[in-house]
Protein backbone atom coordinates (compact mmCIF):
# COMPACT_ATOMS: atom_id res chain seq x y z
CA UNK A 1 0.00 0.00 0.00
CA UNK A 2 1.13 3.54 -0.73
CA UNK A 3 1.72 6.12 1.99
CA UNK A 4 -0.18 9.38 1.40
CA UNK A 5 2.19 12.35 1.91
CA UNK A 6 1.59 16.09 2.11
CA UNK A 7 4.76 18.10 1.46
CA UNK A 8 5.29 21.60 2.88
CA UNK A 9 8.38 23.17 1.31
CA UNK A 10 10.42 26.36 0.89
CA UNK A 11 11.81 25.15 -2.44
CA UNK A 12 13.88 27.77 -4.24
CA UNK A 13 16.76 28.53 -1.89
CA UNK A 14 18.77 25.46 -0.83
CA UNK A 15 18.54 22.86 -3.63
CA UNK A 16 17.71 19.95 -1.31
CA UNK A 17 13.96 20.73 -1.36
CA UNK A 18 13.84 20.02 -5.10
CA UNK A 19 15.88 16.86 -4.57
CA UNK A 20 13.40 15.65 -1.93
CA UNK A 21 10.48 16.42 -4.22
CA UNK A 22 12.08 14.40 -7.03
CA UNK A 23 12.51 11.47 -4.63
CA UNK A 24 8.86 11.58 -3.52
CA UNK A 25 7.67 11.79 -7.13
CA UNK A 26 9.58 8.64 -8.04
CA UNK A 27 9.11 6.65 -4.82
CA UNK A 28 6.70 3.81 -5.70
CA UNK A 29 5.34 3.63 -2.14
CA UNK A 30 4.56 7.37 -2.05
CA UNK A 31 1.18 8.88 -2.88
CA UNK A 32 2.04 12.57 -3.07
CA UNK A 33 -1.33 14.06 -2.13
CA UNK A 34 -0.32 17.69 -2.46
CA UNK A 35 2.38 20.33 -2.07
CA UNK A 36 2.30 23.61 -0.16
CA UNK A 37 4.90 26.37 -0.33
CA UNK A 38 6.06 28.66 2.44
CA UNK A 39 8.11 31.88 2.86
CA UNK A 40 8.75 34.75 0.47
CA UNK A 41 7.35 34.80 -3.07
CA UNK A 42 5.41 31.61 -2.52
CA UNK A 43 4.05 31.73 -6.09
CA UNK A 44 7.54 31.42 -7.54
CA UNK A 45 8.14 28.49 -5.21
CA UNK A 46 4.89 26.94 -6.45
CA UNK A 47 6.11 27.37 -10.02
CA UNK A 48 9.34 25.55 -9.17
CA UNK A 49 7.29 22.67 -7.76
CA UNK A 50 5.16 22.64 -10.89
CA UNK A 51 8.22 22.42 -13.17
CA UNK A 52 9.75 19.53 -11.20
CA UNK A 53 6.41 17.69 -11.11
CA UNK A 54 5.96 18.17 -14.86
CA UNK A 55 9.45 16.79 -15.47
CA UNK A 56 8.31 13.64 -13.65
CA UNK A 57 5.16 13.48 -15.77
CA UNK A 58 2.98 14.46 -12.80
CA UNK A 59 0.74 17.43 -13.53
CA UNK A 60 -2.04 16.02 -11.34
CA UNK A 61 -0.63 17.03 -7.95
CA UNK A 62 -2.32 20.01 -6.23
CA UNK A 63 0.07 22.85 -5.37
CA UNK A 64 -0.90 25.66 -2.98
CA UNK A 65 0.84 28.83 -1.82
CA UNK A 66 1.17 29.53 1.88
CA UNK A 67 2.38 32.22 4.25
CA UNK A 68 5.21 34.38 2.97
CA UNK A 69 6.22 36.35 6.08
CA UNK A 70 7.48 35.08 9.44
CA UNK A 71 4.68 34.91 11.99
CA UNK A 72 6.23 37.50 14.33
CA UNK A 73 9.92 38.05 13.64
CA UNK A 74 12.84 36.41 11.92
CA UNK A 75 14.82 36.85 8.72
CA UNK A 76 12.39 35.04 6.44
CA UNK A 77 13.38 34.19 2.87
CA UNK A 78 12.30 36.89 0.42
CA UNK A 79 14.01 35.59 -2.70
CA UNK A 80 13.78 32.05 -4.15
CA UNK A 81 16.83 32.47 -6.37
CA UNK A 82 16.38 29.17 -8.21
CA UNK A 83 13.36 30.65 -9.97
CA UNK A 84 15.87 32.28 -12.34
CA UNK A 85 16.61 28.84 -13.80
CA UNK A 86 13.01 28.22 -14.93
CA UNK A 87 11.99 31.67 -16.14
CA UNK A 88 12.02 30.46 -19.75
CA UNK A 89 10.28 27.15 -19.04
CA UNK A 90 6.47 26.80 -19.23
CA UNK A 91 4.88 27.38 -15.84
CA UNK A 92 1.92 29.03 -14.16
CA UNK A 93 2.13 32.32 -12.32
CA UNK A 94 -1.59 32.75 -11.53
CA UNK A 95 -1.37 31.04 -8.15
CA UNK A 96 -3.93 32.10 -5.57
CA UNK A 97 -2.36 33.45 -2.40
CA UNK A 98 -2.64 31.87 1.05
CA UNK A 99 -4.59 28.74 0.23
CA UNK A 100 -2.09 26.31 1.75
CA UNK A 101 -3.36 26.09 5.32
CA UNK A 102 -6.96 25.49 4.32
CA UNK A 103 -5.85 22.90 1.75
CA UNK A 104 -3.79 21.06 4.36
CA UNK A 105 -6.65 21.15 6.85
CA UNK A 106 -9.30 19.92 4.45
CA UNK A 107 -7.08 17.19 3.00
CA UNK A 108 -6.04 15.81 6.39
CA UNK A 109 -9.62 15.89 7.67
CA UNK A 110 -10.82 14.04 4.57
CA UNK A 111 -8.45 11.12 5.30
CA UNK A 112 -8.12 10.81 9.09
CA UNK A 113 -5.29 8.58 10.26
CA UNK A 114 -3.87 8.12 6.75
CA UNK A 115 -1.64 11.07 5.85
CA UNK A 116 1.99 11.77 6.73
CA UNK A 117 2.82 15.48 6.88
CA UNK A 118 6.38 16.25 5.78
CA UNK A 119 7.69 19.72 6.62
CA UNK A 120 11.00 20.70 4.99
CA UNK A 121 10.81 24.48 5.33
CA UNK A 122 10.13 27.07 8.02
CA UNK A 123 7.11 26.14 10.11
CA UNK A 124 4.72 29.06 9.38
CA UNK A 125 2.10 27.01 7.51
CA UNK A 126 2.26 24.18 10.03
CA UNK A 127 2.11 26.49 13.04
CA UNK A 128 -0.99 28.23 11.68
CA UNK A 129 -2.58 24.89 10.78
CA UNK A 130 -2.08 23.47 14.27
CA UNK A 131 -3.24 26.72 15.92
CA UNK A 132 -6.39 27.02 13.81
CA UNK A 133 -7.34 23.36 14.17
CA UNK A 134 -5.67 21.74 17.21
CA UNK A 135 -7.16 18.36 16.35
CA UNK A 136 -5.12 18.11 13.14
CA UNK A 137 -1.97 16.59 14.70
CA UNK A 138 -4.14 13.76 16.05
CA UNK A 139 -5.62 13.09 12.60
CA UNK A 140 -2.22 12.49 10.99
CA UNK A 141 -0.62 9.10 10.51
CA UNK A 142 2.76 10.72 11.09
CA UNK A 143 4.48 14.11 11.23
CA UNK A 144 8.08 14.35 9.98
CA UNK A 145 10.25 17.43 9.63
CA UNK A 146 13.72 18.45 8.61
CA UNK A 147 14.25 20.85 11.48
CA UNK A 148 16.44 21.53 14.48
CA UNK A 149 20.05 21.29 15.51
CA UNK A 150 20.26 18.93 18.47
CA UNK A 151 23.99 18.92 19.13
CA UNK A 152 24.28 20.53 22.60
CA UNK A 153 27.44 22.27 21.39
CA UNK A 154 25.82 23.65 18.23
CA UNK A 155 27.11 27.13 17.42
CA UNK A 156 23.81 28.28 15.86
CA UNK A 157 20.22 27.21 15.28
CA UNK A 158 19.15 25.27 12.18
CA UNK A 159 17.95 27.55 9.36
CA UNK A 160 14.31 26.38 9.06
CA UNK A 161 13.87 27.02 12.77
CA UNK A 162 15.83 30.28 12.82
CA UNK A 163 14.03 31.65 9.75
CA UNK A 164 10.71 31.84 11.62
CA UNK A 165 11.42 31.24 15.32
CA UNK A 166 7.88 32.00 16.52
CA UNK A 167 6.46 29.38 14.18
CA UNK A 168 9.11 26.93 15.40
CA UNK A 169 8.17 27.57 19.02
CA UNK A 170 4.46 27.17 18.24
CA UNK A 171 4.92 23.80 16.52
CA UNK A 172 7.12 22.31 19.22
CA UNK A 173 4.76 23.64 21.90
CA UNK A 174 1.69 22.18 20.21
CA UNK A 175 -0.25 19.26 21.62
CA UNK A 176 0.69 16.42 19.26
CA UNK A 177 0.99 12.64 19.58
CA UNK A 178 4.15 12.27 17.48
CA UNK A 179 6.79 14.26 15.64
CA UNK A 180 10.00 12.97 14.05
CA UNK A 181 12.72 15.62 13.68
CA UNK A 182 15.68 15.00 11.40
CA UNK A 183 18.15 17.65 12.51
CA UNK A 184 21.13 19.37 10.98
CA UNK A 185 23.63 17.43 13.07
CA UNK A 186 22.49 14.23 11.28
CA UNK A 187 21.68 15.50 7.78
CA UNK A 188 25.12 17.10 7.41
CA UNK A 189 26.54 13.58 7.14
CA UNK A 190 24.81 13.05 3.76
CA UNK A 191 26.74 15.13 1.25
CA UNK A 192 27.79 14.92 -2.39
CA UNK A 193 30.14 17.07 -4.44
CA UNK A 194 28.84 19.26 -7.24
CA UNK A 195 30.77 17.15 -9.75
CA UNK A 196 29.17 13.92 -8.54
CA UNK A 197 25.71 15.52 -8.59
CA UNK A 198 26.25 16.52 -12.23
CA UNK A 199 27.34 12.98 -13.06
CA UNK A 200 24.56 11.16 -11.22
CA UNK A 201 21.54 13.43 -11.67
CA UNK A 202 20.50 12.09 -15.07
CA UNK A 203 17.04 11.28 -16.37
CA UNK A 204 13.91 13.07 -15.25
CA UNK A 205 13.10 14.59 -12.89
CA UNK A 206 16.73 14.62 -11.66
CA UNK A 207 17.92 16.36 -14.82
CA UNK A 208 15.56 19.25 -14.13
CA UNK A 209 16.69 19.35 -10.51
CA UNK A 210 20.29 19.45 -11.75
CA UNK A 211 19.36 22.54 -13.75
CA UNK A 212 18.08 24.21 -10.58
CA UNK A 213 21.19 23.04 -8.73
CA UNK A 214 23.48 25.11 -10.94
CA UNK A 215 22.14 28.21 -9.21
CA UNK A 216 23.02 26.65 -5.84
CA UNK A 217 26.49 25.69 -7.03
CA UNK A 218 27.34 29.30 -7.84
CA UNK A 219 28.01 29.69 -4.11
CA UNK A 220 28.48 26.11 -2.90
CA UNK A 221 30.68 23.16 -3.75
CA UNK A 222 28.48 20.45 -2.26
CA UNK A 223 24.87 19.36 -1.97
CA UNK A 224 23.72 18.25 1.47
CA UNK A 225 20.72 15.92 1.42
CA UNK A 226 18.93 17.46 4.42
CA UNK A 227 15.37 17.20 3.13
CA UNK A 228 15.71 13.96 1.13
CA UNK A 229 16.89 12.19 4.28
CA UNK A 230 13.78 13.35 6.17
CA UNK A 231 11.65 12.15 3.25
CA UNK A 232 13.35 8.76 3.13
CA UNK A 233 12.68 8.12 6.83
CA UNK A 234 8.95 8.13 6.09
CA UNK A 235 9.40 4.83 4.25
CA UNK A 236 12.57 3.58 5.95
CA UNK A 237 12.69 4.98 9.50
CA UNK A 238 15.53 2.64 10.41
CA UNK A 239 17.90 4.61 8.19
CA UNK A 240 18.38 6.67 11.36
CA UNK A 241 18.65 5.97 15.05
CA UNK A 242 16.64 8.10 17.47
CA UNK A 243 16.13 9.28 21.00
CA UNK A 244 12.70 10.08 22.40
CA UNK A 245 11.44 12.88 24.57
CA UNK A 246 10.13 16.42 24.24
CA UNK A 247 11.57 19.25 22.15
CA UNK A 248 11.02 22.88 23.02
CA UNK A 249 12.08 26.02 21.17
CA UNK A 250 12.07 28.98 23.55
CA UNK A 251 11.29 32.30 21.88
CA UNK A 252 14.45 34.40 21.91
CA UNK A 253 14.73 37.69 20.06
CA UNK A 254 18.50 37.81 19.89
CA UNK A 255 21.03 35.73 18.01
CA UNK A 256 22.40 33.13 18.40
CA UNK A 257 19.53 31.65 20.44
CA UNK A 258 16.64 32.47 18.13
CA UNK A 259 15.17 29.26 16.72
CA UNK A 260 17.07 27.06 19.17
CA UNK A 261 15.75 23.51 19.67
CA UNK A 262 16.28 21.70 22.97
CA UNK A 263 15.45 18.02 23.55
CA UNK A 264 14.72 16.62 27.00
CA UNK A 265 14.91 12.84 26.76
CA UNK A 266 12.17 10.71 28.29
CA UNK A 267 8.43 10.73 27.83
CA UNK A 268 7.08 12.93 25.09
CA UNK A 269 5.90 13.03 21.50
CA UNK A 270 9.25 13.70 19.88
CA UNK A 271 11.56 11.33 18.05
CA UNK A 272 14.89 12.99 17.23
CA UNK A 273 17.44 11.45 14.88
CA UNK A 274 20.90 10.90 16.37
CA UNK A 275 22.71 9.08 13.55
CA UNK A 276 22.22 7.93 9.96
CA UNK A 277 23.28 5.01 7.80
CA UNK A 278 24.78 7.19 5.07
CA UNK A 279 25.47 4.36 2.62
CA UNK A 280 21.99 2.95 3.16
CA UNK A 281 20.43 6.36 2.57
CA UNK A 282 22.18 6.93 -0.76
CA UNK A 283 21.34 3.41 -1.87
CA UNK A 284 17.67 4.08 -1.10
CA UNK A 285 17.67 7.52 -2.70
CA UNK A 286 19.12 6.51 -6.07
CA UNK A 287 17.20 3.23 -6.20
CA UNK A 288 13.96 5.07 -7.03
CA UNK A 289 15.47 6.56 -10.20
CA UNK A 290 16.63 3.31 -11.76
Terminal Cα-to-Cα distance of the chain (whole angstroms): 21
* DSSP sequence for 114-136: TPEEEE-S-SHHHHHHHHH-TTH
Cβ proximity of 185 and 151 under 8 Å: yes
Count of other CB atoms within 10 angstroms of residue 289: 16
pLDDT digits (tens, 9 = 90+) for 117-160: 999 999 999 999 999 999 999 999 999 999 999 998 888 899 99
User: What's the pLDDT score for residue 252?
Assistant: 66
As a whole-number percent, the residues of the chain with pLDDT over 70 amount to 98
pLDDT digits (tens, 9 = 90+) for 179-222: 999 999 999 999 999 999 999 999 999 999 999 999 999 999 99
Count of other CB atoms within 10 angstroms of residue 63: 23
Across the range 24-37, mean pLDDT stands at 98
Asked if residue 44 has pLDDT above 60, the reply is: yes
User: What's the pLDDT score for residue 18?
Assistant: 98
CA-CA distances (angstroms) from residue 251 to 152, 215, 236, 244?
18, 33, 33, 22
User: What's the pLDDT score for residue 245?
Assistant: 98
Per-residue confidence band for 34, with pLDDT thresholds at 50, 70 and 90: very high
Per-residue confidence band for 251, with pLDDT thresholds at 50, 70 and 90: confident
Q: Which domains does the chain have, with CATH numbers?
A: 3-287 (3.90.245.10)
Cβ proximity of 187 and 226 under 8 Å: yes
pTM of the model: 0.96
User: What's the pLDDT score for residue 250?
Assistant: 86
Cβ proximity of 79 and 40 under 8 Å: yes
User: What's the pLDDT score for residue 152?
Assistant: 84
Amino acid sequence: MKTPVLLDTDIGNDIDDAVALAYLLRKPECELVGITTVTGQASKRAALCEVVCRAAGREDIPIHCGRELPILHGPGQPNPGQYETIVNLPHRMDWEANTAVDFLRQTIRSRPGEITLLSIGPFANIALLFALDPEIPFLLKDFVSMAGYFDPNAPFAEWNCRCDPTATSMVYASDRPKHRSIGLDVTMQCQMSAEEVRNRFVGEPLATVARLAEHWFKNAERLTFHDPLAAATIFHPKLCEYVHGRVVSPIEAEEPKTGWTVLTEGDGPDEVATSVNVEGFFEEFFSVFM
